Amino acid sequence: MQLVAFGGDERMRGALLAAEKAGWEALHVACEADVPPEIGQADAVLLPWPHSFRDERLVTAEPNRGLGRERVLSLLPPCRLILYGGGVQAEEMPQAEMQLNPQKDETFLRRNAQLTAEGALCAAMRRMPRALLGSTCMVTGFGRIGQELAVRLCAMGAFVIVCARNEEQMRLSHHMGAHPVPLRNVASAAAQANVIFNTVPAHVLDEEALSRVGEKAMIIELASAPYGEDLELAARLGVEVIVEGGLPGRYAPLDAGEALFDVARRYLKDGKKGESMHG
């Protein structure tokens, strides 16, 4: 089996190591100097995830060395499967029988959420003067990451408040051992928390909520922009916000890369020809 990987950060190294451990041959093309005279065919091609291209250049650990977008697309070999991220569309890669953005794979997303949750706890523990054991922790949003956070925090002996949008999420959080609160009551919940983990990419922590955050409390921000709060407003109110986006790639890049390779291996094994997934 042959894997050809283009660019990427430490996650890509994790994917390549996982491929080699599985007995695959692996080629990594990060810059022009890495381009062989002929790439040939491959079983799978892996482009950087979550973003394959930025500003028309391949995402790499050294941004200035990345190949141009059109150059990369011209180098893609015939293959059974291409995994890709943002900055490119499936239709631009006809070399592959299947094109898949891992964002569409539930198994991968759950694994990514688990790594994010673990990294978030590590980030909080590095900065907190006291243990999570016995602390009051608030989780805003109860999707994959919120669920993984809640189950880990409960297991660590924290008192966990989950601010959720609907009754089903509130019932699930209660079943996990957390204390569910409707998202509309986030301000009163914020007043009780030693640390807030936000997973919602919208300003659910409004001025009232931020004004009630304790003096020694902090927010671990896990969502993408525009984040769960107005960062400038939080700064004016003296609320400490630690933005921790992209945690799997920073906290556990080898595991995150292995999860990407696992997506490719599963789809090839299942033989999902013709089930191209766009994202």
Residues in the chain: 279
Q: What percent of the chain has pLDDT over 90?
A: 93
| SS3 assignment for the chain | CEEEEECECHHHHHHHHHHHHCCCEEEEECCHHHCCCCCCCEEEEECCCCECEECCEECECCHHHCCEHHHHHHHCCCEEEEECCECCCHHHCCCEEEEECHHHCHHHHHHHHHHHHHHHHHHHHHHCCCCCCCCEEEEECCCHHHHHHHHHHHHCCCEEEEEECCHHHHHHHHHHCCEEEEHHHHHHHHCCCCEEEECCCCCCCCHHHHHCCCCCCEEEECCCCCCCCCHHHHHHCCCEEEECCCHHHHHCHHHHHHHHHHHHHHHHHHCCCCCCCCC
Short-list 4, 50, 47, 11, CA closest to 28: 4
Upstream peptide bond of 102 is cis (omega within 30 degrees of 0): no
Per-residue pLDDT, 64:
78
Instruction: State if pTM tops 0.85.
Output: yes
Render pLDDT for 228-261 as a digit per residue (tens, 0 to 9): 999 999 999 999 999 999 999 999 999 999 999 9
Render pLDDT for 63-109 as a digit per residue (tens, 0 to 9): 778 899 999 999 999 999 999 999 999 999 999 999 999 999 999 99
Stretches where the chain sits below pLDDT 50 are: 273-279
